Amino acid sequence: MDRTQIEKAYQLAKEQYAAIGVEAEKAIDKMKEVVISLHCWQTDDVGGFEKPDAALSGGGIQTTGNYPGKAKTIGQMRADLEKVMHLLPGKQRLNLHAIYGEFGGKLVDRDEIGVEHFQGWIDWAKNLGIGLDFNGTYFSHPKADSGFTLSSKDEGIRKFWVEHMKRCREIGAEMGKQLGTPCVHNTWIPDGSKDVPVDRNGYRALLKKSLDEGYENEFSKEYLKDAVESKLFGIGAESMTVGSHDFYLGYAIKNNKLICLDNGHFHPTEQVGDKISSCLQFTDEVLLHVTRPVRWDSDHVVTLNEEVQLIASEIVRNNFFGRVNTGLDFFDASINRIGAYVVGTRAAQKAFLIALLEPTAQLVKMEEEGRYFERLAMLEELKTKPFGAIWDYYCLLNDVPAGEDYISEILTYEKDVLSKR
């Protein structure tokens, strides 16, 4: 896009927003606080690097598609992530899963991982000036095949996963320490039952016990923030999920943990945007996994839809930036994976910028005075304000392609790099 055109369009758009009491410059400046954690697992369809050709198995989650160009080594993965970050305005973090360590060709089991396997990632992140987040991996492993990990009634299996959790926290804390920004360590387990179980309570009591054990070691909040991620159901675990929302919200509140809200993990008419202000009355912080469920927890690439908009609007309206950690969680193997990241992350960023261009105080005043028609009309009018011109200018300021210009850059990367893998 032409620079002069972008600047001209911005000036006109800025005036339109000013007419409704919104300062576009302030909105753009506030975008500095929008730091999105990129999930590493879109690079390789949640395979990881524990062994050659590792692939996602079990866990009730699924990638579909076989689009060429998937990252097959950590070097390729880093190159892809750097390309993605070059095409995104603002600053990001990287969210790693435990299966993405540098294991040097040896079989390092999940109860044996240590900081040494992630030091390369820490150095890489330091070099880029970004923070890291971390997740234990409780799937794609023979000891997860029964469908139960931290809630397993097999004491050997349960202890194995508790040890994994302990090690993940040590790794996360070291990431936070070395990088000078706390690592959000998230625990999601697939545990659940295909058919109607009888002893729901037994599994939940075991999960609570395992979490208590896994959290035994204390780390400074400057280095590590622990989160627990609930879920409604997974493939093959349709009748009961041990780590349900009630379970983890209770655990998080009682134990001063973060609750992780993934917007693919609820009944379709429930909205995560509506949950944020509820959870934050009782927890210090929340972690978000922003995704796009299509009929089920399908983890499609995020698009700018009403669900994502409500999430961003709730954060902006209440200035929850310091208390909401925003991560992404999608994995689409049917399209260019770099493109998936760029479209998905930009969609989330756009939702934040749109939210920042809202005359919130005026709308609240209308609401408090019972002027509901005016509130509705204003919210509708905001949808067709010239947001795109502000977005393009924001991209220009950040020295990244504006509008659709990133598409050709991704196609060039596909031709020059991805297609040769």
Binding-site residue numbers for Mn(2+) are 265, 297, 299
Considering the rule CB under 6 A, would residue 231 count as an interface residue with ligand L2XQQQDX?
yes
Q: Which is nearer to ligand L2XQQQDX, 229 or 358 (CB)?
A: 229
CB-count exposure of residue 371 (10 Å: 0-12, 13-18, 19+): middle
| Of 231 and 245, CB closest to ligand L2XQQQDX | 231
In the complex, minimum distance from the CB of residue 196 to ligand L2XQQQDX, in angstroms, rounded to a whole number: 21
Q: What are the Cα distances from residue 102, in Å, to 40, 53, 74, 168, 210?
A: 14, 15, 8, 14, 27
For residue 297, the minimal CB distance to ligand L2XQQQDX (Å) is 5
Which among 229, 314, 358, 414 is annotated as catalytic? 229
Tell me, yes or no, if 229 is annotated catalytic: yes
Task: State the catalytic residue, choosing from 188, 226, 275, 314.
Answer: 188
358 binds, among Mn ion, ligand L2XQQQDX, none (CB under 5 to 8 A by kind): none
Residue 362 structure tokens: 């005026």
Question: Which residues, numbered 273-302, are part of the site for ligand L2XQQQDX (CB under 6 A)?
Answer: 289, 297
The Cα–Cα gap between 9 and 35 comes to: 26
Q: Is 188 a catalytic residue?
A: yes
Q: Which is nearer to Mn ion, 45 or 329 (CB)?
A: 329
Element (H, E) at 225: strand 224-229
Nearer to ligand L2XQQQDX by C-beta: 174 or 262? 262
Contact between residue 302 and residue 344 where contact means Cβ atoms under 8 Å apart: yes
Distance of alpha carbon 248 from alpha carbon 138, whole angstroms: 17
Closest CA to 36 of 104, 123, 133: 133
89 vs 327 by CB, closer to ligand L2XQQQDX: 327
Distance CA(223)–CA(183), nearest Å, equals 6
Provide the minimum distance between the beta carbon of 321 and ligand L2XQQQDX in the complex, in angstroms, as a whole number.
22
Annotated binding-site members: 265, 297, 299
CB of 133 to ligand L2XQQQDX, least distance (A): 11
Please indicate whether residue 164 is annotated as part of the active site. Answer: no
The reply to whether 188 sits near ligand L2XQQQDX by the rule CB under 6 A is yes
**DSSP E strand boundaries for 292-367:** 292-294, 296-300, 324-328
Question: Sign of torsion, CA 72 412 78 55?
Answer: negative
* 226 classed as catalytic: no
If the CB atoms of residues 28 and 165 are measured against ligand L2XQQQDX, the closer one turns out to be 165
Q: Residue 187: helix, strand or coil by DSSP?
A: strand
Q: Which of 419, 409, 302, 405 is nearest to 39 (CA)?
A: 302
Least distance between Mn ion and beta carbon 229 (Å):
6
- Residues that bind Mn ion in the complex, under the rule CB under 5 A: 262, 289, 329
Binders of ligand L2XQQQDX in range 312-341 (CB under 6 A):
329
Instruction: Please report whether residue 46 would count as binding ligand L2XQQQDX according to CB under 6 A.
Output: yes
Q: What angle do CA 406, 407, 413 make, to 5 degrees?
A: 90
Give the closest residue to 48 by CA, choosing from 156, 153, 121, 127. Answer: 121
Catalytic residue among 117, 265, 300, 350: 265
Active site residue 297: yes
329 catalytic residue (yes or no): yes
Sole binder of ligand L2XQQQDX in the list 226, 262, 285, 392 (CB under 6 A): 262
Could you please report the per-residue DSSP string of 95-136? EEEGGGS--TTS---TTT--GGGTHHHHHHHHHHT--EEEE-
Q: Which residues are catalytic?
A: 188, 229, 231, 262, 265, 289, 297, 299, 329
Binding site for ligand L2XQQQDX (CB under 6 A): 41, 46, 61, 135, 188, 229, 231, 262, 289, 297, 329
